[in-house]
């Protein structure tokens, strides 16, 4: 009798243990989900679920409204799935759901280890119900303007937009990286799991680092690329010089490129000097078929360069722009996808417009007093001045949004972390990425030679390394190499 009772108890115990284990590893059809088939732009398909969970816009305001945050979940395919893997898009402002189109193969490969979730963070993609602000400020298209005048146009645009969003009832204090981190905890609870895996790039890594400090106990492990530290929203201008030195070494490997670009620093400086003395009138093609006249100035090229140095492929176009200007020609801006260019450049004469989420989050992450002093001093001699991150010029206009220096300190943790850094990443420099990992005692740093900012799909070896990490196997190869694009002038 006693044996029968104990056997029955053991069976119940094992069943409950299995059920508990199931609910704490991978998601099992939580509320607000519906089945659907995801179809990418190039017609690849995957069955999954689209859903949403609710979060408070500003958790410090008891009267704040509720937000619906949307996601797509692809169920695990492996035999022993672990915690769900949540993709954190870059930007800030990128859509995690949209990123499935770009990284479809990675999303599918990671299903071996758990449900894979593409999250649209608050204020992005399907989770965005914020009004876009179009100011009354217009930078003259055909008049030479000083840097201070140009910056003041944008500062005045921000003043207008801050008033506009307030009038529309938007609580900008709810749009910062801490609230995004707490949303991850809310998503974890919505999924009914004990742990989550974070997979982030660029701003997504910034968010992941904040989450490590805010909700450390909820995180199983973290996969990052192109890391942006918590005090690295504004990049150090002097590090562009070191990046350009690495780029020059890459160019020197290709005889034709080396002959065309024997010294890119000298070329860039020479073109900037020419444009400062005599801006060049150009025509910018519009989608409707007509062109708009524009006075190309030194500052424009600094901003274009700040965007194009992200990846080697876009750098190849950028060098062509500089070479054309150096030879007295007009750059072939129309041959490059519009998404590469800074906001507003391709539509001169249009009012300055701002995104609430992107603007608020950059201002909230802010910059420490020490780093601000460094940026100001380095910008005096740096080739791209202080245009790497324009939020630097908004400093002081919305101090109530700033999260403060406590937020900007590096997190400390022994959570397993895997970081991929490209040697030719011109947005988040490799030296800065390694500094952002200080305090993370269980981080594995993988250098990807010749890769840029968007490196996850650069080589099958990256996915192989991620697989080893997810399986708990040691990472034996911490330096990977990918092919360079052809830097020869086209």
The dihedral formed by the CA atoms of 327, 333, 339 and 340, expressed in degrees to the nearest 10: 0
pLDDT of residue 29: 77
Where in the chain are the domains? 25-129+178-230+410-481, 131-169+242-404
Average pLDDT over residues 375-381: 97
Q: Is the pLDDT confidence value at 13 over 80?
A: no
Q: Per residue in 399-458, pLDDT tens?
A: 999 999 999 999 999 999 999 999 999 999 999 999 999 999 999 999 999 999 999 999
| pLDDT of residue 163 exceeding 80 | yes
- Reduced 3-state DSSP string for 106-138: HHHHHCCCCCEEEECCCCCHHHCCCCCEECCCC
Q: Is the pLDDT of residue 475 over 50?
A: yes
Percentage of residues in the chain with pLDDT exceeding 70?
Answer: 94
Give 414 or 4, the one with higher predicted confidence: 414
CA atoms of 85 and 221, how far apart (whole Å)? 9
Predicted confidence at residue 234, as pLDDT, reads: 97
Each residue of 256-269: b (16+ CB within 10 Å) or e?
A: ebeebbeebeebbe
Query: Does 178 score more than 80 pLDDT?
Result: yes
**pLDDT greater than 70 at residue 147:** yes
Specify the CATH number for 25-129+178-230+410-481; select among 3.40.50.1820, 3.40.630.30, 3.20.20.120, 3.40.50.720: 3.40.50.1820
Q: Which helix (H) or strand (E) holds 224?
A: strand 219-225
pLDDT of residue 310: 97
Are 103 and 85 spatial neighbours (Cβ–Cβ below 8 Å)?
no
pLDDT of residue 324: 98
Predicted confidence at residue 6, as pLDDT, reads 44
pLDDT of residue 237: 97
Residues 76-106 pLDDT 10s? 999 999 999 999 999 999 999 999 999 999 9
Whether this prediction's pTM lies above 0.95 is answered by no
pLDDT beyond 70 at 464: yes
Cα separation, 137 vs 366, in Å, equals 24
Average pLDDT over residues 138-142: 97
pLDDT level of residue 287 (50, 70, 90 thresholds): confident
Closest CA to 119 of 188, 71, 187: 71
**Angle at CA 239, nearest 5°, toward 356 and 402?**
30
The span from the CA of 410 to the CA of 177, in Å, is 14
Reported as a single tens digit per residue, the pLDDT across 343-364 is 889 999 999 999 999 999 999 9
> Which value, to the nearest 10 degrees, does the dihedral of the CA atoms of residues 382, 385, 387, 390 take?
120
More confident residue, 234 or 17: 234
Burial class (CB in 10 A: 0-12, 13-18, 19+), 16: exposed
Over residues 455-470, mean pLDDT: 97
For 289-342, what is each residue's pLDDT tens digit?
899 999 999 999 999 999 999 999 999 999 999 999 999 999 999 999 998 999
CA-to-CA distance for 70 and 54, rounded, in angstroms?
Answer: 9
Helix axes 298-308, 264-277, angle to 10 degrees: 150
Residue 28 pLDDT grade (very low, low, confident, very high; cuts 50, 70, 90): low
Q: Binning pLDDT at 50, 70 and 90, where does residue 379 land?
A: very high
* 467 three-state secondary structure: helix
Indicate the average pLDDT of the chain: 93
pLDDT value, residue 10: 37
Note whether 349 and 138 are within 8 A (CB): yes
């Amino acid at each position: 009798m006693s044996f029968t009772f104990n056997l029955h108890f053991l069976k119940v115990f094992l069943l409950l243990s299995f059920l508990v284990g199931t609910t704490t590893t991978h998601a099992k059809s939580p509320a607000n989900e519906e089945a659907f088939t995801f179809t990418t732009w190039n017609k690849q398909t995957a069955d999954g679920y689209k859903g949403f969970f609710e979060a408070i816009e500003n958790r410090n305001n008891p009267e704040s409204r509720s937000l619906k945050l949307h996601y797509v979940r692809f169920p695990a395919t492996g035999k022993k799935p672990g915690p769900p893997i949540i993709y954190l898009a870059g930007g800030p402002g990128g859509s995690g759901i949209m990123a499935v189109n770009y990284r479809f193969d990675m999303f599918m490969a990671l299903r071996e280890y758990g449900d894979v979730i593409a999250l649209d963070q608050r204020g992005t993609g399907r989770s965005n119900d914020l009004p876009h602000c179009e100011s009354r400020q217009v930078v003259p298209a055909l008049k030479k303007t000083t840097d201070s005048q140009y910056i003041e146009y944008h500062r005045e645009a921000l003043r207008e937009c801050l008033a506009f969003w307030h009038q529309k009832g938007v609580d900008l204090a709810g749009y910062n990286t801490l609230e995004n981190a707490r949303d991850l905890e809310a998503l974890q609870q919505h999924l009914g799991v004990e742990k989550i895996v974070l997979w982030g790039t660029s701003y997504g890594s910034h968010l992941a680092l904040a989450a490590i400090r805010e909700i450390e106990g909820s995180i199983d492990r973290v996969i990052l690329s192109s890391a942006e530290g918590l005090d690295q929203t504004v990049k150090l201008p002097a590090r562009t010089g070191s990046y350009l030195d690495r780029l020059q070494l890459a160019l020197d490997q290709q005889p034709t490129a080396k002959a065309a670009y024997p010294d890119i620093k000298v070329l860039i400086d020479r073109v900037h000097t020419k444009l400062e003395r005599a801006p060049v009138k150009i025509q910018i093609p519009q989608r409707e078929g007509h062109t708009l006249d524009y006075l190309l100035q030194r500052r424009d090229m600094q901003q274009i360069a700040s965007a194009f140095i992200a990846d080697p492929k876009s750098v190849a176009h950028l060098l062509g722009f500089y070479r054309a200007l150096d030879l007295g020609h007009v750059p072939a801006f129309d041959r490059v996808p519009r998404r590469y260019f800074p906001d507003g450049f391709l539509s001169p004469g249009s009012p300055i417009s701002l995104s609430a989420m992107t603007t608020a989050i950059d201002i909230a992450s802010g910059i420490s007093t020490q780093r601000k002093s460094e940026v100001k001093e380095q910008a005096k001699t740096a080739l791209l001045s202080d245009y790497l991150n324009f939020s630097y010029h908004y400093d002081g206009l919305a101090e109530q949004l700033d999260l403060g220096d406590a937020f900007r300190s590096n997190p400390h943790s022994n959570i397993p972390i895997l970081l991929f850094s490209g040697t030719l990443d011109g947005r988040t420099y490799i030296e800065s990425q390694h500094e952002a990992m200080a305090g993370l005692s269980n981080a594995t740093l993988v250098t990807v030679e010749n890769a840029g900012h968007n490196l996850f799909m650069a080589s099958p070896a990256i996915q192989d390394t991620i697989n080893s990490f997810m399986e708990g196997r040691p990472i034996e190869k911490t330096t990977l190499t990918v092919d360079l694009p052809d830097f020869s002038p086209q």
